[in-house]
């Protein structure tokens, strides 16, 4: 079944032929970019948007990936959109509208016919208001159109020798902040620095949710016991307090997507 989906993806990419890929550096967009480069080679470009709420490590990884694959890459710097400054529930929809308007302008100016993104088949079943914005703007999602799930994409990436195949899921820093909270630059940098501490301590993919002066750590399966029993736990606590958190807590439910979605009681 995966082979059929993979062939369908190739067909869609050949049909589109000229496009800019919204490239975050995550597993989905990295696989899509690599496949497009393999199938088409010319007529495509990776475009990464840099905003204050995208971790700098993700930008660096996107640059490294395109350099390693010898793929054209453009970074667009965009200021924090005022309409999402209070982190409203419709944040993702408004953000996509703003960022992809810039992408569409770039594509038109540089004569790329389409904008495509890495939305996959699993995303359609989740709370993803951003997908609505993409559809309204005519953004194509070849992975979704091919029926490829996250599991399929990781499997294909591994088979094609891409070392990003098991990379943890990524999301913008605004997802770490409760809805209807005014977002300040200092909060974003605290979250980013705290997650860097955990990443460097051997806990990739860990989220640090901010609640005032409380850091709520959500980590992947298997990491909870490791953190609890790790002698370096005090190192993590000390560093997060140096960053500005007064309290450091470990969420016993661990990392789960959508933990801050509006239908959830927990923010």
% of the chain beyond a pLDDT of 90? 85
Q: Are 188 and 53 in contact (CB under 8 A)?
A: yes
User: In this predicted model, what pLDDT tens digit does every residue of 89-136 receive, in sequence order?
Assistant: 999 999 999 999 999 999 999 999 999 999 999 987 666 788 899 999
* Residue 222 confidence (pLDDT): 87
Q: Which residues contact 74 (CB under 8 A, 6 or more apart)?
A: 20, 45, 46, 47, 48, 106
Mean pLDDT for the stretch of residues 141-147: 97
State in Å, rounded, how far the first CA of the chain is from the last one: 38
pLDDT at 265 over 50: no
Say what the pLDDT of residue 41 is: 80
pLDDT of residue 260: 62
- pLDDT at residue 173 greater than cutoff 70: yes
Q: What pLDDT, on the 0 to 100 scale, is given for residue 116?
A: 98
Confidence of residue 264 (pLDDT cuts 50, 70, 90): very low
Burial annotation 185-222 (CB, 10 A radius, 16+ → b, else e): eebbebbbbbbbbbeebebebbbbbbeeeebbbbbbee
Q: Residue 267 pLDDT > 60, yes or no?
A: no
The rounded mean pLDDT for the chain is 93
The two three-digit tokens of residue 223, written as one number: 């990491």
Check residue 259 and give its pLDDT. 59
Mean per-residue pLDDT, 210-239: 93
Residue 48 near residue 76 (C-beta atoms within 8 A): yes
pLDDT digits (tens, 9 = 90+) for 182-223: 999 999 999 999 999 999 999 999 999 999 999 999 998 889
Question: Looking at the predicted structure, is the pLDDT value of residue 53 above 70?
Answer: yes
Q: What is the pTM of this model?
A: 0.91
């Amino acid at each position: 079944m995966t082979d059929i989906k993979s062939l369908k993806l190739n067909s869609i990419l050949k049909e589109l032929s000229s496009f800019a890929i919204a490239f975050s550096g995550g597993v989905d967009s990295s696989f899509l970019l690599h496949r497009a480069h393999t199938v088409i080679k010319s007529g495509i470009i990776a475009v990464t948007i840099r905003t204050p709420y995208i971790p700098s490590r993700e930008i660096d990884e996107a640059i490294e990936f395109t350099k390693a694959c010898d793929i054209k890459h453009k970074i667009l710097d965009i200021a924090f959109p005022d309409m999402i400054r209070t982190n409203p529930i419709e944040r993702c929809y408004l953000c996509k509208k703003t960022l992809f308007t810039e992408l569409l302008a770039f594509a038109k100016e540089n004569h790329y016919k389409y904008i495509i993104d890495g939305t996959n088949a699993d995303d359609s079943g989740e709370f993803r208001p951003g997908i609505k914005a993409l559809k309204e703007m005519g953004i194509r999602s070849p992975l979704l159109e091919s029926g490829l799930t996250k599991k399929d994409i990781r499997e294909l990436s591994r088979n094609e020798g891409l070392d990003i195949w098991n990379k943890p899921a990524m999301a913008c820093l605004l997802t770490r902040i409760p809805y209807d909270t005014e977002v300040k630059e200092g909060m974003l940098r605290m979250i980013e620095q705290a997650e860097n501490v955990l990443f460097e301590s051997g806990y990739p993919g860990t989220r640090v949710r901010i609640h005032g002066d409380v850091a709520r750590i959500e980590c992947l399966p298997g990491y909870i016991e490791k953190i609890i029993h790790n002698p370096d736990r005090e190192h993590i606590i000390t560093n997060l307090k140096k960053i500005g958190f007064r309290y450091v807590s470990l969420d016993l439910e661990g990392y789960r997507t959508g933990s801050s979605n509006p239908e959830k009681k927990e923010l």
